[in-house]
Amino acid sequence: MTKAGRGNFFEDFTLGQEIVHATPRTLNEGDVALYIALTGTRFPIHSSDPFAQDLGLPRAPLDDLLVFHVVMGKSVPDISLNAVANLGYAGLRFDACVYPGDTLSARSRVIGLKENSNRKTGLVYIQTTGFNQRGEVVIDYARWVMVRKRDAEAPAPEPTIPDLPERVDADDLLLPEALELSRYDTQLAGSEALWEDYETAERIDHVDGMTIEEAEHMMATRLYQNTARVHFNQHIEKDGRFARRIVFGGHVISLARALSFNGLANAFRIAAINGGRHVAPTFAGDTLYAWSEVREKSTIPGRADVAALRLRTIATKDTPCADFPDQTEDGGYHPDVVLDFDYWVLMPRRGD
């Protein structure tokens, strides 16, 4: 019996396969502090107990993306340990808030498989659900990963590509229990701009840049107990496609979200992720910039204090975003775009 695992390869997956992921994780204030140190995020609802309590919450909840990364990290040893790249996400919704002291666990189901034409890799589609210690769903989402084959000659399954939603419907967004924004303090939040001040198709250059250091991106990925070799093992990756370690795509998302504070400071919670694409790899030494576009605005039935914005955030490397680098006329991307991220945020309303 082999004691040490090498992770699953493409031919190890079967359609409908259910996987319970190991290592439940209790998160505490230390995880919060380290996440802030690694990303620079400044949204006050995740930084201040009194600020969160003024909004009706028991204390500051964990950053939504910290929850996302930890739950995804649970799935890596089983799903993407032998991945070439994580390619995208769809239909992600945050259900219950997670607070320091909560314990997260996860399970996944294989919902699609497709071998690539080179026969060396294949696409694995999974639906992952994260739970707290009470069995409550805190997050649920689909993602797809390009995974190596152990044997290029191994037979491939019939290709099955799931029908994934293009967006989470605004009517399906969930608000934290007891959330009430009448005491929301825009001075402490860092901006006077509320939901009414944003227009559909408006573009915002987040101005600031952040350079990724080798130790920081690896520490961030270890924080989530993500064990994918492509992020850590230079001895192996020196012979790989890029000859170096790739920055975990979730860390790129977190940095883009942190940069978006400058222009979207009152986007206090990510309610859902409609989709995301890692357009190009990111490496240590790259400097990330970001800009965002307002794609939709939606009110929330029965609520005059809070509404939702659908945002598309583009992150670039080594290219400031004053001219909003995006897709080219032929449908490709500007060569320095690394992330295209589509998501819903909650934002206070004036209520008038």
270's tokens: 């990510």
CB 109 within 8 A of CB 15: no
Strands 303-317 and 337-348: antiparallel
63 close to 35: Cβ distance less than 8 angstroms: yes
Predicted local distance difference test score (pLDDT) of residue 80? 86
Closest CA to 89 of 73, 107, 68, 58: 68
Percent of the chain with pLDDT over 90: 85
pLDDT at residue number 315: 98
Confidence (pLDDT) at 240: 85
Mean pLDDT, the chain, rounded, equals 94
* Residue that has been written with the tokens 């997670």 in this structure: 98
Listed range (125-129, 214-218, 229-233) with the worst mean pLDDT: 229-233
The reported pLDDT for the residue numbered 229 is: 83
Note the maximum CA span of the chain.
68
pLDDT at 88: 84
Listed in order, strand segments (DSSP E) in 149-218 are: 203-205, 210-211
CA 186 to chain centre: 26
- What CATH number matches the domain at 14-151+193-348, 3.20.20.70, 3.10.129.10, 3.30.70.20, 1.10.340.30? 3.10.129.10
Query: For residue 86, what pLDDT is reported?
Result: 78
First to last CA, the chain: 68
The pLDDT score that the predictor gives to residue 192 is 97
Position 220 scores a pLDDT of 96
The Cα–Cα gap between 124 and 255 comes to: 26
Q: So what's the pLDDT on residue 352?
A: 59
pLDDT in tens, 5-22: 788 999 999 999 999 999
What digits encode the pLDDT tens for the residues 21-68?
Answer: 999 999 999 999 999 999 999 999 999 999 999 999 999 999 999 999
The string of pLDDT tens digits covering residues 57-104 is: 999 999 999 999 999 999 999 998 888 877 888 999 999 999 999 999
The rounded distance, in Å, linking the Cα atoms of 66 and 63 is 5
Structure confidence at residue 133 as a pLDDT band (50, 70, 90): very high
- Predicted pLDDT at 342: 96
List, as one string, the DSSP characters of 71-130: HHHHHHHHHTTTEEEEEEEEEEEE-S---TT-EEEEEEEEEEEEE-TTSSEEEEEEEEEE
pLDDT above 90 (res 228): no
* Tokens linked to 160: 């099955």
Q: What is the mean pLDDT of residues 137-157?
A: 92
Domain positions in the chain are 14-151+193-348
- Residue 341, phi then psi, degrees to nearest 5: -125, 125
pLDDT score of 85: 77
Distance CA 61, CA 346 (A): 15
What residues are paired with 291 via a beta bridge? 205, 314
The predicted pLDDT at position 4 comes to 84
For 85, phi then psi, to 5°, come to -165, 150
**Residue of higher predicted confidence among 192 and 229:** 192
52 CA to centre of own chain: 22
* Number of other CB atoms surrounding residue 110 within 10 Å: 20
| Across 302-317, average pLDDT | 96
Residue 244's pLDDT is: 93
- Separation in Å, CA 308 to CA 25, 195, 291: 30, 8, 18
Rounded distance, CA 127 to CA 90, Å? 9
- Is the pLDDT at 1 greater than 70, yes or no? no
Find the range with the poorest average confidence among 35-39, 131-135, 278-282, 316-320.
Answer: 278-282
Residue whose pair of structure tokens reads 């699953």 in the numeric block: 8
Nearest-angstrom CA–CA distance, 284 and 301: 44
Mean pLDDT of 145-165: 92
pLDDT of residue 97: 95
Among 79-88, 168-177, 287-296, 334-343, whose mean pLDDT is lowest? 79-88
Percent of the chain clearing pLDDT 70 (strictly above): 99
What contacts 332, CB < 8 A, 6 or more positions away?
none
Give me the residue label for tokens 């939504």: 64
